[in-house]
Amino acid sequence: MTSDASQTLQYVSSQLPSLRLEESDLQQNPQFSKLLVEVCQHVDPSGGSASLSRELEEARRELRLQRKVWLRSEVIHRLVQEMLLDLHVRKQEGTLSEEESKFQAVLQRCVSVSDCSCLLTSQGASPFYPMSLLGLEKQNLLELLPPEMDVLWMRGRLQKQLEDALRKKCFTFLSFHQPETDAEGDVLRTGKALRLVSTLEDEKRRLHSEREKQEETAALLGKQQETYPQVVLRCLLLLRQAASELRLLVQSDTDRSNTEYLETKCNALLLKFRMEELQVLTDTYTPEKVEVHRQIRETLERAVRTEEREVSASREILSSYKILGPEFEELVREYTRLRQDIENDRSVLQEISKTLP
């Protein structure tokens, strides 16, 4: 079933490229697939009727043929007009020979008769103009033609001049299309000029093919631009879901690793603080300073021991004094008071001695 749907999709896409279908659409609607196959047999890739398309192609072919005939006559007519204009300019300049003057006169009369005949024919074919305008008929115009011998002589000369003018035009177009041919010979340039039409047609077909490829690429790009955002959004949802699941699975390991990291970092900081402390102590207390402090400590310890011995002896003396009773305490207070008075008197005498000359 999948293979049949794929083949049907390829056939329908080749016959109707503007129709956008998916293989799932054909699988879900088999009758619609049959209808599309039947329709493709009666329509062209543009969606129009096949018979109408054939008639339209035939009309286009006939139009191209008539256009080619008209263009051929139009090119010759314009070349003749340019030739007459050039002869007229040369006649005004006085550089025209007798033979060229005759050629100009005969050619001018033939061209005028031909233009009037065409104008008379076009007026007669239109319902807005009478057939015999001003009472003129085509036979009346033909009577104005030059003698037949002059016309035959003019045609022979005109054919060669037209060939030369066409050759110059072709060389001009060739120089515009292929400037590198200007340095080549006339024979080689003539051959390339004859192939210029086919070359231009090949380039036109190639450009048309490139334009079709560009349109197909643009259509494919538009389809991909519609599809890719949906795929990207789906991928983002899957990635978000996978990331959430993975995060839940590894969260405990991550927390444990973070805890171990923080513990290790704290220990490292404590060790660093201890090292800085030891470094400060090392810088502060050099061996000489430690030795001096040791001597000072020994001296202080000796002084403390001496003071302790003196305190102990004083306490023994005080204990022996306490045995004497309250009378001794009264003597001690009296002694202390007398010593205080003596000290005060001494201070006063020192002050008085400082004021004496």
Q: Is 1's pLDDT higher than 50?
A: no
Q: Is the pLDDT of residue 211 over 60?
A: yes
How would residue 188 be classed by pLDDT, with cut points 50, 70 and 90?
A: confident
C-alpha to C-alpha distance for 55 and 120, rounded to whole angstroms: 33
Token digits of residue 296? 């000072």
Task: Please tell me the predicted confidence (pLDDT) of residue 346.
Answer: 79
Residue 174 class from Cβ within 10 Å (0-12 exposed, 13-18 middle, 19+ buried)? buried
Query: Cα(104)–Cα(87) distance, rounded to whole angstroms?
Result: 7
Q: What is the pTM for the complete model shown?
A: 0.42
State the pLDDT confidence band at 58, using cuts at 50, 70 and 90: confident
Tell whether the model's pLDDT for residue 348 goes beyond 80: no
Query: CA-based Rg of the chain, rounded to a whole angstrom?
Result: 64
Who contacts 328 (Cβ-Cβ below 8 Å, separation ≥6)? 321
Average pLDDT over residues 11-35: 63
Nearest to 44 by CA among 62, 82, 67, 17: 17
Question: Distance between CA atoms of 175 and 184, rounded to whole angstroms?
Answer: 11
Mean pLDDT of 201-218: 87
Domain ranges of the chain: 285-323, 324-357
What number is the average pLDDT over the span 33-53? 64
C-alpha 217 chain-centroid distance = 18
* Mean pLDDT, rounded, for 285-310: 84
Min mean pLDDT across 67-81, 114-128, 300-314, 340-354 is at 114-128
> In the predicted model, is pLDDT for residue 349 greater than 60?
yes
- What pLDDT, on a 0 to 100 scale, did the predictor assign at position 14? 60
Residue 50 pLDDT exceeds 50: yes
Contact, 190 vs 179, CB < 8 A? Answer: no
What residues have CB less than 8 Å from 103, skipping those under 6 apart?
Answer: 87, 154, 157, 158
Residue tagged 């969606």 (tokens): 47
Over the chain, what is the mean pLDDT? Answer: 77
Helix axes 196-284, 148-177, angle to 10 degrees: 10
Give the range among 99-113, 173-187, 200-214 with minimum mean pLDDT.
Answer: 173-187
The rounded distance, in Å, linking the Cα atoms of 173 and 163 is: 15
pLDDT the model gives residue 103: 83
Task: Identify the pLDDT of residue 19.
Answer: 62
pLDDT at 356: 56
User: Residues 135-167: pLDDT tens digits?
Assistant: 667 677 777 777 888 888 888 888 888 888 877
pLDDT digits (tens, 9 = 90+) for 226-250: 888 888 888 888 888 887 777 777 7
Alpha-helical runs (H) found in 94-185: 98-125, 138-142, 148-177
Question: Which one, of 282, 286, 297, 217, lies nearest residue 17 by Cα?
Answer: 217
Whole-angstrom distance, CA of residue 64 vs CA of residue 50? 21
Residue 125: predicted pLDDT: 43
**For the chain, what percent of residues have pLDDT higher than 90?**
2
Banded pLDDT at 179 (limits 50, 70, 90): confident
